[in-house]
Structure 1
Amino acid sequence: MDDRTYTAEATPGETVTVAGWVHEIRDLGGIAFLILRDTTGRIQVKFEKDEMDDELVEMGLGVSRESVVAVTGDVKEEPRAPTDVEVVPESVEVLSRADTELPLDPTGKVDAELSTRLDNRTLDLRREAGQAIFSIRSEVQAAVREAFREADATEINTPKIVATGTEGGTELFPITYFGREAFMNQSPQLFKQLIAGSNLERVFEIGPIFRAEEHNTPRHLNEATSIDFEGAFCDHNDAMDVCESVVVAAYEAVAENCAEELDALGLDEFEVPDTPFPRISYEEAIERINVTGELDEQLVWGDDLPTEGEKALGNDVGGHYFITDWPAEIKPFYIMDHDDDETLSTGFDMMHPRMELVSGGQREHRREELIAGFEAQGLDPEAFEYYTKMFKYGMPPHAGWGLGAERLIMTMLDLDNIREAVLFPRDRQRLSP
């Protein structure tokens, strides 16, 4: 609509056409109001029944909530209106009529179950809180891209259909690819390493990953968005520095540019994380978890950290932090070990007090050691020949990490369920919409 005016831009003394959804109708007898909502806010449309054509009044007040309408009229100053202005209509056009029975209340006054909201996502995202989450997510992705560019990284896009899994195992979605078996990619890991070995050196990607994990928890998805970094001539400490700067940049952008969205979510005390993030060794982490007494059994060297242990340590630390120097035996084959102690890897995790956000480390760039890592984890190096052969041709030392975008949003906004941070989640039960 070329002549459309957004509600936030309606100025007293103008004749405008505003278009949007019927948010609410208030009939007070001789006077009535239609509250019209668009992407910039709401505006009051006033109907004085005795002074207006009956057909116009009937058109404006007879339409159902969430119908899409266009209203043309004069903008008047009205201090008692929610936005200090109102439109006195000359015409009302119903562009799309909504059913009178709505599966949920877009005003948010009546709560709906998460499953109902996800089944009706378009309607659900007319709520201010829903819109706020995805406005913030957009701001986060923009800030992340800018932070990567400041770190001299080039954005890349890697394949999502692959011949082999990144780490093998059963967590793969198989597909039929022209009569051959293929898989949905678990991670851009191997591809981003190959590109870091080119003259691009530092690269990043924001894209989908697929994990056939049978988890059914508030923090797991089977299709997620991964924010990935890989840098040539970087070690694990350099990678952690970039990781910290990217996460802080995301928080700073939200704090600076998303005040209204944070208010809609009730986040009055939004804080940018303090830096530098503490770096805690795996050995120290299990010792601190054991001291809390939160676990039924004490952790020992080589154990993965259970959810209860992560929460206990997170409460103890009180902010974002890194866990470093993991046992080599429990990290993937492509993670490099420390030169002075082969039992320790250069792998690290970056944690929010609630959960893990990032997994990363320095990569093994020496071909012989890389092949040995494949074999140690029961993987066939020949199945990854496209990857390993490039290590014959001069692969520099490199390091990187992957950050779960939904987990970043979930923890940043204190959401109860990761599905809140995804437009159309994919989990064990949900394949539609």
Structure 2
Amino acid sequence: MRVLASEANKHVGETIEVKGWIHRIRDLGQVVFIVLRDRSGEVQIVLDNNPELSLESVIKIEGNVIINEKSPGGVEIECKDLTLLAPAAPNLPISVNQNLDKLSLDAILDNRMISLRNTKIRDIFLIQSNILKALSSYMHSQDFSEIKTSKLIGSGTEGGTGLFSVEYFDEKVFLAQSPQFYKQAMVSSGLERVFEISHAYRAEKHETPRHLNEYVSFDVEMAFIETEKDLIDFEKGILKHVFEELRANCSHILEKFDTYLPTADEVDKFPIIEHSEAKKIISKEVGHRVFEINPEGERVICEWAKREYGVEAVFINAFPRKKRPFYTFPDGLKTMSFDCIFRGLEITTGGRRINEYNMMLETLPRFGMTPEGLGDYMDIFKFGCPPHGGFAIGVERLTQKILGLSNVKEASPFPRDRKRVKP
């Protein structure tokens, strides 16, 4: 029966079977050491002669487990039998078992099928898997229903800009920027609380360390809220849970990336700053008046929060109406909306939505829109829609900031940007 590499130390004195990839070979003449890698970690194999196999070949080993404190896990396996399951071609395009920090991001992504085998890169996606698991488990614990909505839409109902068009039989459709309207429909169906984790698409010609054209969006929508602060409190609960799960299950990876996650008490300290006040703070910090909260401003206000509150995050709320989508609930000249800025990067946008039909009719002309242009969407409000709101968290951005990655593309296994559509 197969034993994982990380569990070999539980079988000292026994004969076990391990399967995995040849991660490293050291030939000392009379003895050969192979480090075998599997999903759990590494274990050292001792052989009498060199099997003449290349790195990354997939093998099965049967052998006795003995103690060797200098080996990974404190044990090694004396090989009795080696079976080659899949040979690897020699001359890897990049070295899998070395530190890839000296390689450019383009080189890593150009060789993505191989670079994913590097254990530190692979750990990024183990962290991301645990983030997704924590997000889902928390939402189910809070009585949310998980939904999956279409990514093909007939028109650009969120404004029509930044859309990818797709040939769909005899007509042109678009890739959805978000499940926003579908979330609202499902809330109004009586489910009240829904969430979705799925891809979203933005045809924006960005080439920055913070943008992807295809990304994973964690979307939340909930009924019977009063203001955006209900949503902020709920997001704090989500972040506490995610951070706690990562500390419990991935501490070895967090140590490898030398990163720290906020405690529950620290998440509670994330300040809520109105948009106008945030601009004043940033202006004072940079020494001149700012009119927009740009990426530099997001970095500056997080540095301010760290100094003033001991945390690296800020919730900015009360955005002006002109800076929010048409469906955002107005509060005078402001809106019941917010962003969460975490470690210098916006990871969340959300707010309360307009739920009253007449208010929607009054709002649309302000944005150059008509009820006819929104089609079926207007039925949500025409036939009774509860007060509601929600938000979306970019999963790659959250992963990026948790691990301190320099570019969001590192947090996508197969990133899509203006230049990259493969592998």
> TM-score, with normalisation over the residues of structure 1?
0.91
Instruction: Indicate yes or no: 2:338 matched with 1:313.
Output: no
Instruction: Indicate yes or no: 2:279 matched with 1:286.
Output: yes
Instruction: Indicate yes or no: 2:224 matched with 1:248.
Output: no
Give the Å deviation of 1:138.
1.1
Give the Å deviation of 1:179.
0.9
Structure 1 unaligned regions, length at least 5? 49-56
For 1:54, the equivalent position in structure 2 comes to: none
Structure 2 unaligned regions, length at least 5? 307-311
Aligned pairs for 1:87-106 within 5 A? 87-106=77-96
Give the Å deviation of 1:123.
2.0
Worse-superposed segment, 71-80 or 129-138: 71-80
For 2:4, the equivalent position in structure 1 comes to: 6
For 1:327, the equivalent position in structure 2 comes to: 320
C-alpha contact 2:301 2:344 (8 A) present in aligned 1: no
Q: Describe the superposition over 1:126-172 as per-residue Cα deviations: whole angstroms up to 9, x where unpaired.
A: 22211221111111111111222233211111110001224223200
Q: Tell me, in whole angstroms, the C-alpha distance in 2 between the residues paired with 1:159 and 1:276.
A: 37
Q: Tell me, in whole angstroms, the C-alpha distance in 2 between the residues paired with 1:84 and 1:287.
A: 57
Give the Å deviation of 1:294.
5.2
Q: Describe the superposition over 1:94-121 as per-residue Cα deviations: whole angstroms up to 9, x where unpaired.
A: 2111122111111123542222222222
C-alpha contact 1:320 1:350 (8 A) present in aligned 2: yes
Give the Å deviation of 1:306.
1.5
Instruction: Determine what percentage of the aligned residue pairs are the same residue.
Output: 35
* Counterpart secondary structure, 2:177: coil
Q: 2:74 aligns with which of 64, 71, 84?
A: 84
Q: Describe the superposition over 1:315-356 as per-residue Cα deviations: whole angstroms up to 9, x where unpaired.
A: 111222211111112211000111xxx211111111113111
Cα 1:271–1:395 shift into 2, 3 Å: closer
For 1:422, the equivalent position in structure 2 comes to: 412
Q: Tell me, in whole angstroms, the C-alpha distance in 1 between the residues paired with 2:205 and 2:418.
A: 7
Q: Tell me, in whole angstroms, the C-alpha distance in 2 between the residues paired with 1:357 and 1:421.
A: 13
AA matched with 1:337: P
For 1:152, the equivalent position in structure 2 comes to: 143
Aligned pairs for 1:190-339 within 5 A? 190-235=181-226, 236-267=228-259, 269-272=260-263, 273-293=266-286, 298-299=289-290, 303-318=291-306, 319-338=312-331
Q: Tell me, in whole angstroms, the C-alpha distance in 2 between the residues paired with 1:420 and 1:231.
A: 32
* Counterpart secondary structure, 1:199: helix
* Counterpart secondary structure, 2:59: strand
AA matched with 1:4: R
Q: Tell me, in whole angstroms, the C-alpha distance in 2 between the residues paired with 1:90 and 1:263.
A: 36
Q: Tell me, in whole angstroms, the C-alpha distance in 2 between the residues paired with 1:81 and 1:355.
A: 41
Q: Tell me, in whole angstroms, the C-alpha distance in 1 between the residues paired with 2:373 and 2:154.
A: 8
Moved over 6 A (4+): none
For 1:32, the equivalent position in structure 2 comes to: 32
Give the Å deviation of 1:371.
2.6
C-alpha contact 1:128 1:264 (8 A) present in aligned 2: no
C-alpha contact 2:257 2:404 (8 A) present in aligned 1: no
Worse-superposed segment, 274-283 or 72-81: 72-81
AA matched with 1:257: N
* Counterpart secondary structure, 2:372: helix
Structure whose alpha-carbon radius of gyration is higher: 1
The count of residues paired between Structure 1 and Structure 2 equals 412
Q: Tell me, in whole angstroms, the C-alpha distance in 1 between the residues paired with 2:121 and 2:166.
A: 33
Worse-superposed segment, 243-252 or 214-223: 243-252
* Counterpart secondary structure, 1:83: helix
Q: Tell me, in whole angstroms, the C-alpha distance in 1 between the residues paired with 2:59 and 2:278.
A: 58
AA matched with 1:9: E
C-alpha contact 1:166 1:185 (8 A) present in aligned 2: no
> TM-score, with normalisation over the residues of structure 2?
0.93
Q: Tell me, in whole angstroms, the C-alpha distance in 2 between the residues paired with 1:45 and 1:256.
A: 30
C-alpha contact 2:298 2:345 (8 A) present in aligned 1: yes
Q: Tell me, in whole angstroms, the C-alpha distance in 2 between the residues paired with 1:294 and 1:257.
A: 43
Q: Tell me, in whole angstroms, the C-alpha distance in 2 between the residues paired with 1:176 and 1:14.
A: 60
For 1:52, the equivalent position in structure 2 comes to: none
Q: Describe the superposition over 1:348-380 as per-residue Cα deviations: whole angstroms up to 9, x where unpaired.
A: 111113111111111111112213322221233
Q: Tell me, in whole angstroms, the C-alpha distance in 1 between the residues paired with 2:261 and 2:177.
A: 33
Instruction: Indicate yes or no: 2:13 matched with 1:47.
Output: no
Q: Tell me, in whole angstroms, the C-alpha distance in 2 between the residues paired with 1:282 and 1:382.
A: 33
AA matched with 1:139: N
* Counterpart secondary structure, 1:360: strand
* Counterpart secondary structure, 2:149: coil
Q: Tell me, in whole angstroms, the C-alpha distance in 2 between the residues paired with 1:69 and 1:344.
A: 63
Q: Tell me, in whole angstroms, the C-alpha distance in 2 between the residues paired with 1:193 and 1:232.
A: 9
* Counterpart secondary structure, 2:24: strand
Q: Describe the superposition over 1:280-315 as per-residue Cα deviations: whole angstroms up to 9, x where unpaired.
A: 0111111111111255xx23xxx4311222222121
- Root mean square deviation, CA, Å: 1.6
Give the Å deviation of 1:125.
2.1
C-alpha contact 2:218 2:394 (8 A) present in aligned 1: yes
